[in-house]
Structure formats: C-alpha cells, structure tokens
C-alpha cells in the first residue's frame, strides 16, 4: 500500500539527487567499484573492432573515466568524449584522461547536441538503466555513422540479490520510513537477450549479447553496507528512506544481509549483461 501510494503521488528520487550521490562517492569510486569492474570495461572495448584510427567515440555516463581510458589504450589517436551528470566523477575522469574531452550533462540531452551520423562508436557502462533504454538506443543509432558500433555493459535486473533482499526487507519491516521510490531496477535488462532485443528493435544489425556473474565476499554486513554506500549500488536508494531513521534502517539492513553469512563472510553476487550492435 505504501509503495502504491508513493507511486500514485509520483514520489521518486530525482536525477539531481542521484548525481549528487555520485559526487559524494567520486573520490573513492575507483577503489570501491572501478577496480572490480575493470575487466568488464576492458572487455567492452575489446569487443569493438574495425574503427578508423582517428575514430570519434562517445562514452555515456563515463563516471571516473574507466571506459574512456580503455578506449584510449585501444585507439590512442581517437577523438574521445565522456559525458556524465556528476561534476565530482568528471573531475576524477579529467585527471585520469587529460587527453579526452568531458562534458557535464545527462545522456539523453547530451546526445541530442551531437550531429547525426557523426560518431564511430558509443559506449555505456553500468548506466543505461538511468535512461530510457529503447529511446537511448534509437538516439544512438541516429548519431552513429554507417558501420558505427554501440556497446553496452549493465547490471542485470536481478543483480546483487543479497543486497536487494535486505533492502526490501528493511522497507517491509519499516514501511513508514519509505519516503520515495527508485525505479532504476525496472529499467535494467532482465538478460543479455533482452538487452539485445532493445538494440535490434532500435534498428541495429549484427547484434551480439551475453553476460556473466561473479561473487564478492565481505567480512560482515556492515562491510556490505559501507561498500554499497561507496558505489553506485546504493546511489539514490538511501535517499528513499526517512533520514531521521537512517541509523535504524542501516542496522536492520546489516542484520538482514547477515542472514546469509558463513564462516567466510557475506557473499554478494554481481550479475551483468552486455550487448553490441552495428549501424547498417
């Protein structure tokens, strides 16, 4: 009933608040998340072949520039631009890749400013769920040159199941503390196949897709909470709860996530998908 009421009143966490969360975690984001996801960032770029030496490449929601750096290593003479709505994340990205260009803005509005058929490749890592994926894919298609490539890696909708169950458990135990909603998970792809379907429906050809999973181990529930708050995993979600009950909610989360704790600690599963399409 509480969720239905909030949805009816359109009480959602705003994009500006999500960007502010990324500002807050930007200085430690590479340590907390980018280092763990580095292999996926590199694989995303490695799947793209046949670009001209001076290709024009756009990385959407570039964060701290991990994928921009991967593009730079693969295509050192390319003209690379990263777009992100968080000034804090962009500050780290500029230090990491001073040769690249960086623009502050959200994915969809930034794409509208790009001339049609002007890009050789577009990438989006861990962020397509913050946009409207079908619309974003259609817009990217218009901006790519014939033969241009769109490459995406994203969390699967059922990723971090241990964290999600604990977070939902907190909301069920204390529904009155839920003040707003986050709809990010509804935009995440259910599978690599569903992400591939989005690309095909947008008009991409030669679509490939896949996915995988990996397991992270934490010492205890508090370590899981601290890590979640230091990465994009919780960006916006903690804003949904009543700040006056933050400590109470945090304690409940720790207790609930530790239900699956073993002698090795708390294991958390990261499930991800990827897809690549070509403009015919």
Q: What would the pLDDT profile of 184-213 be if each residue is shown by its tens digit?
A: 566 899 999 999 999 999 999 999 999 999
Q: Determine contact, residues 58/127, Cβ cutoff 8 Å.
A: no
CA dihedral 18, 197, 38, 122 (to 10 degrees): -80
Q: What is the CATH number of domain 2-278?
A: 3.40.50.150
Q: In what order do the strands lie in the sheet with 266-278?
A: 101-104, 79-84, 56-60, 119-125, 144-155, 266-278, 205-218
- Non-local (6+) Cβ contacts of 259 within 8 A are none
Query: Which comes out higher in pLDDT, residue 245 or 142?
Result: 142
Residues 6 or more apart whose CB falls under 8 angstroms from that of 270 comprise: 36, 155, 159, 160, 213, 214, 215, 216
Task: Report the alpha-carbon distance of residue 134 to residue 128 in Å, rounded.
Answer: 10
With beta carbons less than 8 A apart as the criterion, state whether 51 and 77 touch.
no
Q: Is the dihedral of CA 38, 166, 21, 189 positive or negative?
A: positive
pLDDT for position 242:
83
**Domain definitions of the chain by residue range:** 2-278
79-127 pLDDT, tens digit per residue, is 999 999 999 999 999 999 999 999 999 999 999 999 999 999 999 999 9
| Encoded tokens for 169 | 């458990």
Helices 246-257, 221-229: axis angle to 10 degrees equals: 120
Quick: pLDDT tens for 139-167: 999 999 999 999 999 999 999 999 989 98
If you count DSSP H runs as helices and E runs as strands, how many of each does the chain have, helices first? 12, 7
Give me the chain's average pLDDT, please: 90
Pair 197, 207: CB distance under 8 Å: no
With contact defined as beta carbons under 8 Å apart, do 122 and 56 qualify? no
């Amino acid at each position: 009933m509480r969720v239905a009421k909030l949805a009816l009143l359109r009480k959602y966490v705003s994009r500006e608040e999500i960007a502010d969360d990324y500002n807050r975690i930007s200085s430690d984001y590479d340590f907390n998340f980018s280092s763990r996801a580095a292999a996926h960032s590199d694989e995303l770029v490695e799947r793209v072949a046949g670009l001209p030496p001076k290709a024009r490449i756009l990385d959407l929601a570039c964060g701290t520039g991990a994928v921009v750096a991967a593009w730079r290593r693969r295509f050192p003479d390319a003209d690379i631009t990263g777009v992100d709505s968080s000034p804090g994340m962009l500050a780290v990205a500029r230090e990491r890749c001073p040769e690249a260009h960086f623009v502050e803005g959200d994915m969809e509005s930034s794409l509208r400013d790009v001339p049609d058929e002007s890009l050789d490749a577009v990438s989006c890592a861990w962020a397509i769920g913050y946009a409207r994926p079908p619309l974003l894919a259609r817009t990217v298609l218009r901006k790519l040159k014939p033969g241009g490539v769109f490459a995406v890696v994203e969390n699967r909708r059922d990723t971090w199941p241990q964290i999600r169950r604990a977070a939902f458990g907190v909301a069920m135990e204390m529904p009155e503390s839920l003040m707003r909603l986050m709809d990010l998970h509804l935009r995440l792809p259910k599978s690599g196949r569903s992400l591939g379907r989005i690309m095909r429906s947008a008009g991409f050809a030669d679509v490939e897709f896949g996915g995988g999973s990996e397991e992270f181990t934490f010492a205890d529930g508090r370590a899981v909470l601290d890590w979640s708050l230091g990465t994009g995993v919780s960006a916006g979600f903690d804003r949904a709860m009543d700040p006056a009950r933050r400590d109470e909610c945090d304690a409940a989360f720790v207790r609930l996530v530790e239900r699956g704790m073993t002698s090795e600690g708390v294991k958390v599963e990261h499930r991800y998908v990827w897809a690549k399409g070509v403009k015919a």
